[in-house]
Amino acid sequence: MPQSHAAYDLLVVGSVNADLVVRVDRRPAAGETVLGSDLEIHPGGKGANQAVAAARLGGGVAFLGRAGTDGNGDLVRDALRGDGVDIGHLVTTSAPTGVALITLGPDGDNSIIVSPGANSRVSADDVASAGALFSAAAVVSLQLEIPLPTVTAAARAAAGAGARVVFNLSPAAEVPDELLAYCDPLVVNEHEAEFLGDPRPEGLLARGPRSVVITRGADGAIVADRSGVTEVPSPRVEVVDTTGAGDAFTGALSLRLARGDDLATAARLAARVGAAAVTRPGAQSSFPSTGDL
């Protein structure tokens, strides 16, 4: 259960990236070259995005991860700090800061290639050295842009400290049953649900998580636990850019769970946040504050 006395609503253990974005009229086929827009560079990374989304909504957020000494590292550190995220455990490393290469089509959908860089150096030792952070957080949010053993160690540390674990299985990968058993909820989109073999809420619950959230873009979300399944609608909006919308949803969901909402109530607010995020360009730049909802 969330700890009402926790110093932080949310601890995010995850990735920071510089998002390199080019807009195109159509994506190139194999061996083809197309012209795109001027390059845009924005702060991103699934972990950082979720931290910023929660902080924009008034959450007390801490971050654990790694960034380089390069200009992209300065970019992501300044962005997190600017939104009030505690980056005392964002470790500086000699590896380059992670980069996401994003191609954005005219319909607002994107294709993304991630070069992990410093994110691949986030380790179980980093988790062990941050024990006080886990004890201070009501919810710990995890994703898979850092090494799987580190994610599992973080989930174990969170459970040991009495924090609730929110795990976004993205990018999709096979994960151990131990990790799934800590999830409350496991958050997946429809493609990630298919990856796990049985995309039905009941099928995902059978894999071991305590609860499940399936995000469905414009169709909202499905939430499920042992008590049943609930469909959560999404507001209808005009889509400009879907980059980071899932992270906005998960960050908002994690914050509301930390504040004591039940899963369906938290998902309803998260769906509004995710919908607001697709109406503006960029990832973190698109995330709403409470006054925007």
All residues at 6 or more sequence positions from 31 whose CB lies less than 8 Å from its CB, including other chains: none
| Amino acid at the residue 250 | T
CA dihedral 207, 110, 40, 238 (to 10 degrees): -110
Confirm or deny that 45 is annotated as ligand binding: yes
Q: Is 194 annotated as a binding residue?
A: no
Whether residue 189 is annotated as binding a ligand: the answer is yes
What are 1's two structure tokens?
């259960």
Phi, psi of 50 (to 5 degrees): -65, -40
In 3D space, the residue among 259, 17, 268 whose CA is nearest the CA of residue 119 turns out to be 17
168 annotated binding-site participant = no
Is residue 78 part of an annotated ligand binding site? no
Q: Is 277 annotated as a binding residue?
A: yes
d(CA 118, CA 109): 27
Q: Does 246 carry a binding-site annotation?
A: yes
Q: Is 26 annotated as a binding-site member?
A: no
Structure tokens at 254: 């994690």
Residues 167 and 211 sit within 8 Å (Cβ to Cβ): no
The response to whether 18 counts as a known ligand-binding position is: yes
Q: Is 54 flagged in the annotation as binding?
A: no
Cα atoms found within 13 Å of the Cα of residue 235, Cβ hemisphere only? 17
Specify whether the CB–CB gap between 106 and 240 falls below 8 A: no
Q: How far apart are CA 265 and CA 242, in angstroms?
A: 23
Question: Is 280 marked as binding a ligand?
Answer: yes
Contact call for residues 98 and 45 (beta carbons, < 8 A): yes
Is 218 known as a binding-site position? yes
CA 289 to CA 25: how far, in whole Å?
A: 31
Query: Residue 191 in contact with residue 210, Cβ under 8 Å?
Result: no
Q: Is 243 annotated as a binding residue?
A: yes
Catalytic residue IDs: 247
Is 107 annotated as a binding-site member?
Answer: no
> Is 97 a known ligand-binding residue?
no
Distance from chain centroid for Cα 219: 19
Instruction: Give the residue numbers of the binding site for substrate.
Output: 17-19, 45-49, 145, 247
Annotated binding site for K(+): 241, 243, 277, 280, 282, 286
Binding residues: 17-19, 45-49, 145, 189, 215-220, 241, 243, 246-247, 277, 280, 282, 286
